[in-house]
Structure 1
Protein backbone atom coordinates (compact mmCIF):
# COMPACT_ATOMS: atom_id res chain seq x y z
CA UNK A 1 0.00 0.00 0.00
CA UNK A 2 2.86 2.41 0.72
CA UNK A 3 4.19 1.85 -2.78
CA UNK A 4 0.78 2.49 -4.34
CA UNK A 5 0.19 5.59 -2.24
CA UNK A 6 3.61 6.90 -3.22
CA UNK A 7 2.97 6.36 -6.92
CA UNK A 8 -0.48 7.96 -6.78
CA UNK A 9 0.89 10.88 -4.76
CA UNK A 10 3.85 11.50 -7.08
CA UNK A 11 4.34 15.16 -7.94
CA UNK A 12 6.78 17.56 -9.53
CA UNK A 13 8.47 20.15 -7.32
CA UNK A 14 8.01 23.64 -8.77
CA UNK A 15 9.38 25.45 -5.73
CA UNK A 16 12.77 25.66 -4.01
CA UNK A 17 14.64 22.93 -2.14
CA UNK A 18 16.39 23.11 1.21
CA UNK A 19 20.05 24.10 0.80
CA UNK A 20 21.71 21.08 2.42
CA UNK A 21 23.45 18.51 0.25
CA UNK A 22 21.68 15.31 -0.73
CA UNK A 23 23.40 12.50 1.15
CA UNK A 24 25.60 10.15 -0.84
CA UNK A 25 23.52 7.29 0.56
CA UNK A 26 20.35 8.73 -0.96
CA UNK A 27 22.07 9.52 -4.25
CA UNK A 28 23.25 5.94 -4.59
CA UNK A 29 19.84 4.59 -3.60
CA UNK A 30 18.29 6.61 -6.45
CA UNK A 31 20.84 5.17 -8.84
CA UNK A 32 20.04 1.64 -7.68
CA UNK A 33 16.30 2.05 -8.18
CA UNK A 34 17.03 3.50 -11.64
CA UNK A 35 19.10 0.44 -12.48
CA UNK A 36 16.22 -1.82 -11.40
CA UNK A 37 14.11 -0.61 -14.36
CA UNK A 38 13.47 -3.02 -17.24
CA UNK A 39 15.41 -2.60 -20.48
CA UNK A 40 15.51 -4.35 -23.86
CA UNK A 41 17.64 -7.51 -23.52
CA UNK A 42 18.83 -6.05 -20.21
CA UNK A 43 20.85 -3.54 -22.22
CA UNK A 44 20.68 -0.90 -19.45
CA UNK A 45 21.35 1.96 -21.90
CA UNK A 46 21.06 4.74 -19.32
CA UNK A 47 23.96 6.73 -17.91
CA UNK A 48 23.82 9.41 -15.20
CA UNK A 49 25.94 12.35 -14.14
CA UNK A 50 25.39 13.51 -10.55
CA UNK A 51 26.34 17.18 -10.24
CA UNK A 52 27.09 18.86 -6.92
CA UNK A 53 29.82 21.32 -7.93
CA UNK A 54 28.37 24.80 -7.21
CA UNK A 55 30.12 26.37 -10.21
CA UNK A 56 28.66 23.78 -12.59
CA UNK A 57 25.20 24.17 -11.06
CA UNK A 58 25.42 27.96 -11.37
CA UNK A 59 26.46 27.68 -15.03
CA UNK A 60 23.56 25.36 -15.85
CA UNK A 61 21.23 27.67 -13.91
CA UNK A 62 22.31 30.61 -16.09
CA UNK A 63 21.50 28.63 -19.23
CA UNK A 64 18.13 27.63 -17.75
CA UNK A 65 17.24 31.21 -16.83
CA UNK A 66 18.37 32.77 -20.09
CA UNK A 67 16.60 30.13 -22.17
CA UNK A 68 13.36 30.68 -20.23
CA UNK A 69 13.60 34.43 -20.75
CA UNK A 70 14.22 33.95 -24.47
CA UNK A 71 11.39 31.43 -24.87
CA UNK A 72 8.86 33.73 -23.21
CA UNK A 73 10.17 36.99 -24.67
CA UNK A 74 10.09 35.72 -28.24
CA UNK A 75 6.71 34.03 -27.78
CA UNK A 76 8.20 30.61 -28.60
CA UNK A 77 6.98 28.97 -25.41
CA UNK A 78 3.32 29.89 -25.87
CA UNK A 79 3.40 29.13 -29.58
CA UNK A 80 4.70 25.61 -28.97
CA UNK A 81 2.63 24.74 -25.92
CA UNK A 82 -0.57 26.79 -26.02
CA UNK A 83 -2.73 23.66 -26.31
CA UNK A 84 -1.73 22.61 -22.78
CA UNK A 85 -2.74 25.82 -20.99
CA UNK A 86 -5.91 25.98 -18.88
CA UNK A 87 -7.08 29.23 -17.29
CA UNK A 88 -10.16 28.25 -15.27
CA UNK A 89 -10.95 25.48 -12.82
CA UNK A 90 -14.00 24.54 -14.92
CA UNK A 91 -11.84 24.06 -18.01
CA UNK A 92 -9.39 21.94 -16.05
CA UNK A 93 -12.18 19.82 -14.56
CA UNK A 94 -13.59 19.13 -18.01
CA UNK A 95 -10.33 18.37 -19.83
CA UNK A 96 -8.39 16.94 -16.89
CA UNK A 97 -5.07 17.41 -18.68
CA UNK A 98 -2.60 20.21 -19.33
CA UNK A 99 -1.57 22.80 -16.73
CA UNK A 100 -3.83 25.16 -14.80
CA UNK A 101 -2.30 28.66 -14.52
CA UNK A 102 -3.57 29.35 -11.01
CA UNK A 103 -0.80 31.54 -9.56
CA UNK A 104 -0.10 34.90 -11.21
CA UNK A 105 0.98 38.38 -10.11
CA UNK A 106 -1.99 40.73 -9.75
CA UNK A 107 -1.28 42.89 -12.84
CA UNK A 108 -1.37 39.83 -15.10
CA UNK A 109 -4.57 38.19 -13.88
CA UNK A 110 -7.01 40.20 -16.04
CA UNK A 111 -5.05 39.34 -19.18
CA UNK A 112 -4.80 35.55 -19.07
CA UNK A 113 -7.05 35.10 -22.10
CA UNK A 114 -4.86 37.42 -24.18
CA UNK A 115 -1.66 35.59 -23.31
CA UNK A 116 -1.35 34.03 -26.77
CA UNK A 117 -2.01 37.23 -28.72
CA UNK A 118 0.47 39.85 -29.94
CA UNK A 119 -1.13 42.27 -27.48
CA UNK A 120 -0.66 39.85 -24.62
CA UNK A 121 2.96 39.23 -25.53
CA UNK A 122 3.63 42.95 -25.76
CA UNK A 123 2.03 43.48 -22.33
CA UNK A 124 4.12 40.72 -20.79
CA UNK A 125 7.28 42.32 -22.15
CA UNK A 126 6.23 45.71 -20.77
CA UNK A 127 5.60 44.17 -17.35
CA UNK A 128 8.95 42.38 -17.41
CA UNK A 129 7.39 38.91 -17.31
CA UNK A 130 10.08 37.17 -19.46
CA UNK A 131 12.86 38.51 -17.24
CA UNK A 132 10.94 37.58 -14.07
CA UNK A 133 10.28 34.04 -15.26
CA UNK A 134 13.88 33.69 -16.38
CA UNK A 135 15.18 34.83 -13.00
CA UNK A 136 12.73 32.54 -11.15
CA UNK A 137 13.97 29.63 -13.25
CA UNK A 138 17.62 30.54 -12.70
CA UNK A 139 17.14 30.77 -8.93
CA UNK A 140 15.35 27.41 -8.72
CA UNK A 141 18.16 25.62 -10.55
CA UNK A 142 20.94 27.57 -8.82
CA UNK A 143 19.46 26.76 -5.41
CA UNK A 144 19.31 23.04 -6.07
CA UNK A 145 21.94 21.02 -4.19
CA UNK A 146 21.95 18.25 -6.79
CA UNK A 147 21.49 18.12 -10.54
CA UNK A 148 21.19 14.86 -12.45
CA UNK A 149 21.96 14.54 -16.14
CA UNK A 150 20.47 11.53 -17.92
CA UNK A 151 22.24 10.16 -20.99
CA UNK A 152 21.88 7.22 -23.36
CA UNK A 153 24.57 4.99 -24.79
CA UNK A 154 24.69 5.63 -28.56
CA UNK A 155 25.49 1.97 -29.17
CA UNK A 156 21.89 1.30 -28.05
CA UNK A 157 20.27 4.65 -28.85
CA UNK A 158 20.24 4.74 -32.67
CA UNK A 159 17.53 7.12 -33.97
CA UNK A 160 15.60 5.67 -36.89
CA UNK A 161 15.91 2.14 -35.53
CA UNK A 162 13.77 0.27 -33.02
CA UNK A 163 16.72 0.36 -30.66
CA UNK A 164 16.07 4.08 -30.14
CA UNK A 165 12.54 3.36 -28.94
CA UNK A 166 13.72 0.55 -26.69
CA UNK A 167 16.40 2.80 -25.21
CA UNK A 168 14.04 5.70 -24.53
CA UNK A 169 11.48 3.28 -23.09
CA UNK A 170 14.08 1.87 -20.70
CA UNK A 171 15.35 5.34 -19.77
CA UNK A 172 11.78 6.40 -19.00
CA UNK A 173 11.37 3.47 -16.64
CA UNK A 174 14.63 4.34 -14.88
CA UNK A 175 13.63 7.98 -14.40
CA UNK A 176 10.13 7.04 -13.19
CA UNK A 177 11.69 4.74 -10.60
CA UNK A 178 13.70 7.70 -9.34
CA UNK A 179 10.63 9.95 -9.41
CA UNK A 180 8.61 7.44 -7.39
CA UNK A 181 11.38 7.07 -4.81
CA UNK A 182 12.27 10.68 -3.99
CA UNK A 183 9.05 11.25 -2.02
CA UNK A 184 9.92 8.52 0.49
CA UNK A 185 13.27 10.28 1.08
CA UNK A 186 11.72 13.67 1.77
CA UNK A 187 12.96 14.87 -1.58
CA UNK A 188 11.55 16.44 -4.73
CA UNK A 189 12.51 16.47 -8.38
CA UNK A 190 11.87 18.69 -11.40
CA UNK A 191 12.78 18.46 -15.08
CA UNK A 192 15.06 21.34 -16.18
CA UNK A 193 13.54 21.55 -19.63
CA UNK A 194 14.11 25.06 -20.97
CA UNK A 195 17.74 24.67 -22.16
CA UNK A 196 16.61 21.83 -24.43
CA UNK A 197 14.37 24.31 -26.26
CA UNK A 198 17.35 26.44 -27.36
CA UNK A 199 19.91 24.30 -29.28
CA UNK A 200 22.93 26.46 -28.46
CA UNK A 201 22.08 26.37 -24.74
CA UNK A 202 21.75 22.59 -24.82
CA UNK A 203 25.06 22.27 -26.63
CA UNK A 204 26.70 24.50 -24.02
CA UNK A 205 25.52 22.18 -21.24
CA UNK A 206 26.86 19.16 -23.12
CA UNK A 207 30.22 20.90 -23.39
CA UNK A 208 30.10 21.83 -19.70
CA UNK A 209 29.48 18.18 -18.76
CA UNK A 210 32.14 16.92 -21.20
CA UNK A 211 29.68 14.53 -22.85
CA UNK A 212 31.68 12.15 -25.09
CA UNK A 213 30.67 11.20 -28.63
CA UNK A 214 29.41 7.78 -27.54
CA UNK A 215 26.75 9.28 -25.24
CA UNK A 216 23.64 11.37 -25.96
CA UNK A 217 22.50 13.89 -23.35
CA UNK A 218 18.75 13.39 -22.97
CA UNK A 219 17.62 15.39 -19.93
CA UNK A 220 18.66 17.29 -16.80
CA UNK A 221 16.78 17.23 -13.49
CA UNK A 222 17.16 19.16 -10.25
CA UNK A 223 16.77 17.38 -6.92
CA UNK A 224 16.89 18.21 -3.24
CA UNK A 225 15.18 17.90 0.10
CA UNK A 226 11.79 19.60 0.30
CA UNK A 227 11.10 22.85 2.09
CA UNK A 228 8.28 22.86 4.64
CA UNK A 229 5.13 24.55 3.36
CA UNK A 230 4.39 25.26 -0.28
CA UNK A 231 6.43 28.26 -1.42
CA UNK A 232 5.63 28.85 -5.07
CA UNK A 233 7.31 30.85 -7.85
CA UNK A 234 5.70 34.20 -8.75
CA UNK A 235 4.13 32.63 -11.86
CA UNK A 236 3.15 29.00 -11.37
CA UNK A 237 0.65 26.33 -12.32
CA UNK A 238 -1.00 23.16 -11.07
CA UNK A 239 -1.07 19.86 -12.96
CA UNK A 240 -2.57 17.41 -10.48
CA UNK A 241 -5.64 16.52 -12.56
CA UNK A 242 -5.69 13.20 -14.37
CA UNK A 243 -8.04 12.02 -17.07
CA UNK A 244 -10.94 9.83 -16.06
CA UNK A 245 -10.55 6.14 -16.93
CA UNK A 246 -13.17 6.40 -19.69
CA UNK A 247 -11.10 9.13 -21.36
CA UNK A 248 -8.03 6.99 -21.96
CA UNK A 249 -8.95 3.29 -21.55
CA UNK A 250 -10.87 1.13 -24.03
CA UNK A 251 -12.28 -2.36 -23.72
CA UNK A 252 -11.51 -4.99 -26.41
CA UNK A 253 -10.98 -2.45 -29.21
CA UNK A 254 -10.64 1.30 -29.72
CA UNK A 255 -14.37 1.89 -30.24
CA UNK A 256 -15.54 1.11 -26.71
CA UNK A 257 -14.44 3.33 -23.83
CA UNK A 258 -14.02 1.53 -20.55
CA UNK A 259 -16.88 1.94 -18.07
CA UNK A 260 -15.82 3.40 -14.77
CA UNK A 261 -16.96 1.48 -11.71
Structure 2
Protein backbone atom coordinates (compact mmCIF):
# COMPACT_ATOMS: atom_id res chain seq x y z
CA UNK A 1 0.00 0.00 0.00
CA UNK A 2 2.85 2.38 0.80
CA UNK A 3 4.29 1.76 -2.67
CA UNK A 4 1.04 2.67 -4.47
CA UNK A 5 1.60 4.83 -7.54
CA UNK A 6 -0.46 6.68 -10.14
CA UNK A 7 0.68 6.21 -13.74
CA UNK A 8 1.00 9.51 -15.62
CA UNK A 9 2.78 8.02 -18.62
CA UNK A 10 1.89 5.51 -21.37
CA UNK A 11 1.20 1.80 -20.95
CA UNK A 12 2.44 -1.10 -23.03
CA UNK A 13 0.05 -1.92 -25.89
CA UNK A 14 -0.45 -5.52 -24.71
CA UNK A 15 -4.07 -6.37 -23.88
CA UNK A 16 -4.80 -6.88 -20.19
CA UNK A 17 -5.48 -10.58 -19.73
CA UNK A 18 -9.01 -11.62 -18.82
CA UNK A 19 -7.53 -13.36 -15.78
CA UNK A 20 -6.00 -10.12 -14.50
CA UNK A 21 -9.18 -8.20 -15.20
CA UNK A 22 -11.12 -10.67 -13.06
CA UNK A 23 -8.48 -10.51 -10.30
CA UNK A 24 -9.06 -6.75 -10.14
CA UNK A 25 -12.82 -7.22 -10.05
CA UNK A 26 -12.51 -9.75 -7.25
CA UNK A 27 -10.31 -7.30 -5.34
CA UNK A 28 -13.02 -4.66 -5.75
CA UNK A 29 -15.65 -7.16 -4.68
CA UNK A 30 -13.78 -7.77 -1.40
CA UNK A 31 -14.22 -4.14 -0.30
CA UNK A 32 -16.50 -3.32 2.65
CA UNK A 33 -19.93 -1.81 2.02
CA UNK A 34 -22.84 -0.76 4.23
CA UNK A 35 -24.97 -3.82 5.08
CA UNK A 36 -23.00 -5.64 2.37
CA UNK A 37 -24.99 -3.63 -0.19
CA UNK A 38 -22.17 -3.79 -2.77
CA UNK A 39 -23.51 -0.69 -4.60
CA UNK A 40 -20.70 -0.60 -7.14
CA UNK A 41 -20.94 -1.58 -10.78
CA UNK A 42 -18.04 -1.68 -13.26
CA UNK A 43 -17.69 -1.68 -17.02
CA UNK A 44 -14.52 -3.18 -18.51
CA UNK A 45 -13.84 -1.41 -21.82
CA UNK A 46 -11.58 -3.00 -24.43
CA UNK A 47 -13.35 -2.01 -27.66
CA UNK A 48 -10.81 0.13 -29.60
CA UNK A 49 -13.50 2.41 -31.05
CA UNK A 50 -14.96 3.10 -27.63
CA UNK A 51 -11.53 3.77 -26.14
CA UNK A 52 -10.69 6.08 -29.06
CA UNK A 53 -13.90 8.07 -28.57
CA UNK A 54 -13.37 8.44 -24.81
CA UNK A 55 -9.79 9.49 -25.55
CA UNK A 56 -11.04 12.14 -27.97
CA UNK A 57 -13.52 13.45 -25.39
CA UNK A 58 -10.79 13.49 -22.74
CA UNK A 59 -8.35 15.40 -24.96
CA UNK A 60 -10.97 17.93 -26.04
CA UNK A 61 -11.94 18.46 -22.41
CA UNK A 62 -8.34 19.08 -21.38
CA UNK A 63 -7.84 21.62 -24.17
CA UNK A 64 -11.06 23.43 -23.30
CA UNK A 65 -10.26 23.58 -19.60
CA UNK A 66 -6.73 24.92 -20.15
CA UNK A 67 -7.80 27.41 -22.84
CA UNK A 68 -10.46 28.90 -20.58
CA UNK A 69 -8.20 28.96 -17.53
CA UNK A 70 -10.84 26.98 -15.63
CA UNK A 71 -8.54 24.13 -14.64
CA UNK A 72 -5.86 26.28 -13.07
CA UNK A 73 -8.35 28.61 -11.41
CA UNK A 74 -10.18 25.66 -9.87
CA UNK A 75 -7.09 23.81 -8.62
CA UNK A 76 -4.51 26.58 -8.14
CA UNK A 77 -4.42 26.06 -4.37
CA UNK A 78 -2.91 22.58 -4.83
CA UNK A 79 0.10 23.69 -6.91
CA UNK A 80 3.58 23.85 -5.35
CA UNK A 81 6.54 25.32 -7.20
CA UNK A 82 9.60 24.27 -5.19
CA UNK A 83 10.85 21.35 -3.15
CA UNK A 84 11.06 23.63 -0.12
CA UNK A 85 7.38 24.57 -0.43
CA UNK A 86 6.47 20.92 -0.85
CA UNK A 87 8.47 19.95 2.25
CA UNK A 88 6.72 22.60 4.31
CA UNK A 89 3.15 21.93 3.14
CA UNK A 90 3.52 18.20 2.38
CA UNK A 91 0.38 18.16 0.25
CA UNK A 92 -0.62 19.18 -3.27
CA UNK A 93 1.53 18.62 -6.34
CA UNK A 94 5.03 19.88 -7.12
CA UNK A 95 5.16 21.18 -10.70
CA UNK A 96 8.68 20.00 -11.53
CA UNK A 97 8.47 19.26 -15.26
CA UNK A 98 7.53 21.89 -17.85
CA UNK A 99 8.22 22.45 -21.58
CA UNK A 100 11.43 24.43 -22.11
CA UNK A 101 9.83 27.77 -23.10
CA UNK A 102 7.72 27.78 -19.94
CA UNK A 103 10.39 26.91 -17.37
CA UNK A 104 11.54 30.53 -16.75
CA UNK A 105 7.93 31.38 -15.88
CA UNK A 106 7.20 28.48 -13.51
CA UNK A 107 5.69 30.57 -10.73
CA UNK A 108 3.80 32.85 -13.11
CA UNK A 109 2.55 30.11 -15.43
CA UNK A 110 -0.88 29.91 -13.82
CA UNK A 111 -1.40 33.68 -13.68
CA UNK A 112 -3.44 35.51 -16.33
CA UNK A 113 -0.22 36.56 -18.09
CA UNK A 114 1.10 33.02 -17.90
CA UNK A 115 -2.09 31.59 -19.38
CA UNK A 116 -1.86 34.09 -22.23
CA UNK A 117 1.67 32.89 -22.96
CA UNK A 118 0.52 29.26 -22.80
CA UNK A 119 -2.18 29.98 -25.37
CA UNK A 120 0.32 31.74 -27.64
CA UNK A 121 2.63 28.73 -27.45
CA UNK A 122 -0.21 26.30 -28.17
CA UNK A 123 0.15 24.57 -24.81
CA UNK A 124 -3.59 23.85 -24.33
CA UNK A 125 -3.79 21.92 -27.61
CA UNK A 126 -0.51 20.16 -26.85
CA UNK A 127 -1.76 19.08 -23.42
CA UNK A 128 -5.06 17.99 -24.92
CA UNK A 129 -3.29 15.87 -27.52
CA UNK A 130 -0.99 14.38 -24.87
CA UNK A 131 -4.06 13.47 -22.86
CA UNK A 132 -5.84 11.99 -25.86
CA UNK A 133 -2.82 9.83 -26.73
CA UNK A 134 -2.46 8.53 -23.19
CA UNK A 135 -6.09 7.41 -23.03
CA UNK A 136 -6.13 6.12 -26.62
CA UNK A 137 -3.01 4.04 -25.94
CA UNK A 138 -4.54 2.35 -22.91
CA UNK A 139 -5.55 -1.26 -23.56
CA UNK A 140 -8.23 -1.17 -20.86
CA UNK A 141 -10.58 1.45 -19.49
CA UNK A 142 -12.66 0.91 -16.38
CA UNK A 143 -15.89 2.76 -15.68
CA UNK A 144 -17.09 2.84 -12.07
CA UNK A 145 -20.80 3.33 -11.40
CA UNK A 146 -23.20 3.31 -8.46
CA UNK A 147 -26.65 1.79 -8.13
CA UNK A 148 -29.06 4.72 -7.67
CA UNK A 149 -31.19 2.54 -5.44
CA UNK A 150 -28.34 2.85 -2.93
CA UNK A 151 -26.73 6.09 -4.10
CA UNK A 152 -29.09 8.85 -2.94
CA UNK A 153 -27.11 12.10 -2.52
CA UNK A 154 -28.16 14.11 0.51
CA UNK A 155 -29.03 10.97 2.47
CA UNK A 156 -26.76 8.75 4.52
CA UNK A 157 -27.11 6.12 1.81
CA UNK A 158 -25.33 8.52 -0.55
CA UNK A 159 -22.32 8.70 1.78
CA UNK A 160 -22.33 4.95 2.40
CA UNK A 161 -22.37 4.26 -1.33
CA UNK A 162 -19.52 6.63 -2.16
CA UNK A 163 -17.53 5.24 0.78
CA UNK A 164 -18.04 1.69 -0.51
CA UNK A 165 -17.09 2.57 -4.08
CA UNK A 166 -14.00 4.40 -2.80
CA UNK A 167 -12.94 1.29 -0.90
CA UNK A 168 -13.52 -0.90 -3.98
CA UNK A 169 -11.48 1.40 -6.23
CA UNK A 170 -8.70 1.62 -3.65
CA UNK A 171 -8.53 -2.17 -3.62
CA UNK A 172 -8.11 -2.10 -7.40
CA UNK A 173 -5.48 0.64 -7.15
CA UNK A 174 -3.44 -1.37 -4.67
CA UNK A 175 -3.83 -4.61 -6.63
CA UNK A 176 -2.57 -3.35 -10.01
CA UNK A 177 1.02 -3.12 -8.78
CA UNK A 178 1.13 -6.84 -7.98
CA UNK A 179 0.12 -7.53 -11.60
CA UNK A 180 2.78 -5.29 -13.17
CA UNK A 181 0.09 -2.79 -14.10
CA UNK A 182 -0.63 0.90 -13.60
CA UNK A 183 -3.79 2.99 -13.28
CA UNK A 184 -4.80 6.63 -13.73
CA UNK A 185 -8.01 8.59 -13.23
CA UNK A 186 -9.44 9.99 -16.51
CA UNK A 187 -10.76 13.13 -14.86
CA UNK A 188 -11.04 15.91 -17.43
CA UNK A 189 -14.40 14.90 -18.98
CA UNK A 190 -15.97 15.08 -15.50
CA UNK A 191 -15.13 18.79 -15.41
CA UNK A 192 -17.47 19.51 -18.35
CA UNK A 193 -21.04 18.20 -17.91
CA UNK A 194 -21.82 17.76 -21.61
CA UNK A 195 -18.63 15.71 -22.12
CA UNK A 196 -19.42 13.52 -19.11
CA UNK A 197 -22.91 12.98 -20.48
CA UNK A 198 -21.42 11.98 -23.83
CA UNK A 199 -19.36 9.25 -22.13
CA UNK A 200 -22.45 8.03 -20.29
CA UNK A 201 -24.33 7.78 -23.57
CA UNK A 202 -21.41 6.01 -25.22
CA UNK A 203 -21.41 3.41 -22.43
CA UNK A 204 -25.23 3.15 -22.52
CA UNK A 205 -25.52 3.84 -18.80
CA UNK A 206 -29.13 3.01 -17.82
CA UNK A 207 -31.29 5.40 -15.73
CA UNK A 208 -30.85 3.33 -12.55
CA UNK A 209 -27.03 3.73 -12.54
CA UNK A 210 -24.84 6.79 -11.97
CA UNK A 211 -21.51 7.03 -13.80
CA UNK A 212 -18.99 8.08 -11.16
CA UNK A 213 -15.51 7.74 -12.67
CA UNK A 214 -13.40 6.35 -15.53
CA UNK A 215 -9.85 4.97 -15.18
CA UNK A 216 -7.19 3.90 -17.66
CA UNK A 217 -5.22 0.73 -17.00
CA UNK A 218 -2.49 -1.30 -18.62
CA UNK A 219 0.84 -3.06 -18.14
CA UNK A 220 3.78 -0.81 -17.31
CA UNK A 221 6.72 -0.39 -19.70
CA UNK A 222 10.27 -0.70 -18.33
CA UNK A 223 10.72 3.08 -18.39
CA UNK A 224 8.13 5.84 -18.08
CA UNK A 225 8.21 8.89 -20.38
CA UNK A 226 6.96 11.99 -18.60
CA UNK A 227 4.14 14.15 -20.07
CA UNK A 228 4.82 17.73 -21.24
CA UNK A 229 3.63 19.17 -17.94
CA UNK A 230 4.11 16.78 -15.04
CA UNK A 231 4.41 16.85 -11.29
CA UNK A 232 5.55 14.96 -8.23
CA UNK A 233 3.05 14.17 -5.47
CA UNK A 234 4.80 11.63 -3.24
CA UNK A 235 4.96 13.87 -0.17
CA UNK A 236 2.52 13.08 2.62
CA UNK A 237 1.61 15.11 5.69
CA UNK A 238 3.39 14.44 8.98
CA UNK A 239 1.32 12.64 11.63
CA UNK A 240 1.03 15.89 13.60
CA UNK A 241 -0.64 17.52 10.60
CA UNK A 242 -3.53 15.09 10.26
CA UNK A 243 -3.77 12.90 13.38
CA UNK A 244 -4.96 13.91 16.87
CA UNK A 245 -4.90 11.99 20.14
CA UNK A 246 -8.13 11.63 22.17
CA UNK A 247 -9.50 15.04 21.12
CA UNK A 248 -9.13 17.21 18.03
CA UNK A 249 -6.97 19.78 19.84
CA UNK A 250 -4.09 17.40 20.74
CA UNK A 251 -1.86 16.72 17.70
CA UNK A 252 -0.24 13.30 17.55
CA UNK A 253 3.56 13.32 17.93
CA UNK A 254 5.51 12.60 14.75
CA UNK A 255 7.33 9.28 14.53
CA UNK A 256 11.10 9.58 14.88
CA UNK A 257 12.95 9.09 11.59
CA UNK A 258 9.80 8.61 9.55
CA UNK A 259 9.99 9.82 5.93
CA UNK A 260 6.38 10.77 5.25
CA UNK A 261 7.00 11.23 1.52
CA UNK A 262 7.83 7.60 0.90
CA UNK A 263 6.47 5.84 3.98
CA UNK A 264 9.91 4.49 4.80
CA UNK A 265 12.14 4.90 7.84
CA UNK A 266 15.14 7.10 7.15
CA UNK A 267 18.61 6.10 8.38
What TM-score do the two structures reach when normalised by structure 1? 0.97
- Residues of 2 paired with 1:81 and 1:233: CA distance? 19
Instruction: After TM superposition, give the deviation of residue 229 of structure 1 in Å.
Output: 1.3
Instruction: After TM superposition, give the deviation of residue 113 of structure 1 in Å.
Output: 1.4
Deviations 1:185-225 (A, max 9, x none): 00000000000000000000000000000000000000000
> 3-state DSSP class of the match of 2:134?
helix
> 3-state DSSP class of the match of 1:8?
coil
Name the residue aligned to 2:79: 85
Pairs aligned (count): 255
Equivalent runs, 1:94-173 vs 2, <5 Å: 94-173=88-167
Equivalent runs, 1:232-251 vs 2, <5 Å: 232-251=226-245
Instruction: Write out the 4+ residue segments of structure 1 that deviate beyond 3 Å after TM superposition.
Output: none
Alpha-carbon RMSD: 0.6
Deviations 1:66-96 (A, max 9, x none): 0000000100001100000011111011111
Equivalent runs, 1:1-261 vs 2, <5 Å: 7-261=1-255
Residues 181 and 217 in structure 2, CA contact (< 8 A), matched pair in contact too? yes
> 3-state DSSP class of the match of 2:107?
helix
**Structure number with higher helix proportion:** 1
- Residues of 1 paired with 2:107 and 2:14: CA distance? 40
- Residues of 2 paired with 1:126 and 1:66: CA distance? 18
Name the residue aligned to 1:3: none
- Residues of 2 paired with 1:232 and 1:33: CA distance? 29
- Residues of 2 paired with 1:244 and 1:118: CA distance? 34
- Residues of 1 paired with 2:118 and 2:210: CA distance? 36
- Residues of 2 paired with 1:16 and 1:117: CA distance? 29
Q: Which runs of 5+ in 2 are unaligned?
A: 256-267
- Residues of 1 paired with 2:44 and 2:204: CA distance? 13
Name the residue aligned to 2:260: none
